Structures are given as C-alpha cells and as structure tokens.
Chains A and B, each alone.
Chain A
Amino acid sequence: MVVLKSVSPPTDGVRHEQAETSAILDGKGLGCGTLYVAETRLSWFDGTGMGFSLEYPTIGLHAISRDLGTYPQEHLYVMVNAKLNGEENAEDEEDEDASDDDGGAGDDEEGVISEIRFVPSDKAALEPMFSAMCECQALHPDPDDEDSENDFEGEEYDVEEAEHGRGDIPSFYTCEEGLSSLNSEGEATLSRLEGMLARSVAQQFHMAGVRTDNTGDGLCGPCVGVWSDGLCGPCVGV
C-alpha cells in the first residue's frame, strides 16, 4: 500500500492541499513535499514526484501534536494499521500482509503499526489539515462493522410517547388540534421555545471540522460529506 513511486497527485475531491510539508515515516525522514488530503486517499509527494498514498480504512487515528517535548516540531500525527515500507514492491507487501495478524477483519493482536508525522512549515495549517482528514475519514466507515449492517427492527423512539407514559411531566400539546387550545400567552411561549430549539439545534449539531457551506445537493446540516449514492456522512439528524 505504501510504495514510494512516481505517481501523479490526485485531482478530484482534494479537501486540503499543503505544500512545504515534510513527512517522517516511522522515524525516517522522507524529505519535504506536498500533502494532499483527498476524499479517496491521503497522499504525499516530494519535490521529485515520488510519494505514497494511504487508504483511509487503514488509518487508525490522526492528531495534532503541539507537544514539543515529545517531538520537536508541531505536526500532524497519523497512525496507520499496517506496515509501510518505501522500498517494497506490491508482491512483497501482499506476502507480508498474509503473515500479519493484522487482517481486515477481527482484532489484530500483534497490531502492525506505522507512524507518520506530517510537518508543515506553516503551523497554522495544522487545524485545516486535521479537519480535512476528519471529514475524509468519516467518508470511509468500516465495511466490516456488523452493527451497521443489521436490520434494525422496532419503531422509532418518540420522546413524547415515552414522556406521556410517566405522568410527572405536565401535559403539553403536540398536535395541530392542540394548538388551537393555546391562549395568546401559550402561543407566545410556543414561538419563543421553538426559536430557542432552532438555535440550540443549529449549535449543537455543528461538528467542528465539518464543512457547513452546503454547496452540494443533498447535504445535511451536520454532515461530514456526501457519498456518491447521496447518503450523508455520519450525521445524527438534521
């Protein structure tokens, strides 16, 4: 998966591009180049056009590190659940994968891990680099996750049904018919509460690092992105 070879940078779906970025792979400096955070993969290329790509499903975590005691430069840290060697060709990598415990499914007891540090010359770029990676990572949910494949049975949870069952909540109107029972004070209260709810919903579901300029067709409020089949990223609701 990581082969230092001459490839061209991605052109589609590049959420962030950061030039003058050094890459250090498992402690070994690869030089200075450009990082491309694209929706399909994470890529880095040095000045000669040599580089590598990472597939998001192999990325275990990423983080902004400003702890100069641990590493002398502020950087973007990426942990990859695979062994990356620049010199190997594709065949060697397949053999290595077969002998790894780190398969696609199941726990990786031995846990082959690589660490990559991307050090941009512009430290202010760390946050947009991080955010772009969050967005792209969310576009690649775990295909092996059984939970998300299950058919979920049962009705949708209705909070008002649940609350009405308790009796310690004062009765309130939830339907159009009930609205006509409100006096003017009640109507004013309702408007105020609805306004508060709208504002709190907008704030609550603003996920840091999410593009909120819904330029694309079909994006939810808190969505991280849109998959090709029109589904949101991991939003909870609107």
Chain B
Amino acid sequence: MSTCPSDSRPTLRTIVENSLVVLLQGLHGQVTTVDLRDESTARGRVVNVDAYMNVRLADVLFRDRRGRVSRLEDLFITGRNVRYVHIPDNLDITDTIEKQLGKISRMRNYETKNPQSQPKTCKICT
C-alpha cells in the first residue's frame, strides 16, 4: 500500500523507497560533505538521514557562506536546506541503493511473519 487511507500523503517508507533518500541512508557512518542552499558546507560523519532528507552529522567542519570555518560536534541540517550531498567516490551507488532497499524490504517481511515480536508500529507504517 503506497498511500495512507486517511489522506493523500504517501507513507514515509514509500517516500524512502521511491526517492534517492534511500541512497543517503546508505551513507550512515561515512564521512561526506553536505552543501547547503546558502552556500555554506558541512563535512562530517553521517549519523542519520531521514525521509525528509534532514541530515545529522557528527564531528563536523562547517564553512559558512563567508568562508569562516568552525568545528561543530553535532549538526542537524533541515532537509529543505540541503542543496547537495557529496557521495564518496569509493561508494558503489547501485549496490548501496539495493542493499538499503533490501533492508527495508526484509524488515517488512520479518514483520509480517512475527507480528508479536515487533515493536509498536504507527497507524500508517505497517
């Protein structure tokens, strides 16, 4: 089911499976650079990327739009403000996407077989 019954908004899993956010989620643990819309850049280790492309980085070197550099321990960038996410050169993009989709798909299959052992799901994400 790719749409919620109550409104036309797609499920978050659908968003992830159908957009390149899934590639970004395969970057967890890797160091990369994020270019922001205001021309500042942030280079750090990817802690998490969610379905809205909100990016959380750790141990960040942040260069603001005026070129001033500072270190930030933990950084959360709103998805709306992301212009580019640099993909590390040594990353196999197709492979990463397939692996990431595989994880999501296997979890869905696992849930179906083991409804009691799974943690609570929200009304839509089933």
Instruction: Chain A residues near B62: list those with CB within 8 A.
Output: 63
Complex alpha-carbon distance, A130 and B101, angstroms: 30
Complex alpha-carbon distance, A154 and B15, angstroms: 12
Complex alpha-carbon distance, A160 and B108, angstroms: 12
Complex alpha-carbon distance, A156 and B102, angstroms: 11
Residues of A within 8 A of B (CB): 57, 59-67, 69-71, 77, 81, 107-108, 111, 113, 127, 130, 133-134, 137-138, 141-142, 144-145, 147-154, 156-160, 162-163, 174, 194, 197-198, 201-202, 204, 207-209, 214, 218-221, 223-224, 226, 229-238
Complex A-B, nearest 5 residue pairs according to Cβ-Cβ distance, in ascending order? A234-B50, A159-B102, A70-B70, A159-B105, A63-B75
Instruction: Chain B residues near A224: list those with CB within 8 A.
Output: 50
Instruction: Chain B residues near A238: list those with CB within 8 A.
Output: 107, 111, 118-119, 121, 125
Q: Provide a sorted-by-A list of 15 A–B residue pairs whose CB atoms are within 8 angstroms.
A: A61-B36, A67-B71, A111-B65, A134-B56, A152-B2, A152-B10, A159-B109, A204-B103, A208-B48, A220-B119, A232-B122, A236-B104, A237-B111, A238-B111, A238-B125
Question: Does B78 lie within 8 Å of A137, measured CB to CB?
Answer: yes
A127 to chain B, nearest CB (A): 8
Question: Does A197 lie within 8 Å of B106, measured CB to CB?
Answer: yes
Given contacts A108-B37, A145-B80, A235-B51, contact A156 B108 (CB under 8 A): yes
* Chain B residue with Cβ nearest A221: B119
Given contacts A159-B101, A159-B105, A238-B125, contact A130 B120 (CB under 8 A): no
A190 to chain B, nearest CB (A): 10
User: Of residues A81, A130, A134, A231, which shows the largest number of chain B Cβ atoms within 10 Å of its Cβ?
Assistant: A231
Given contacts A61-B76, A64-B72, A207-B48, contact A201 B109 (CB under 8 A): no
Given contacts A221-B119, A238-B121, contact A151 B48 (CB under 8 A): no
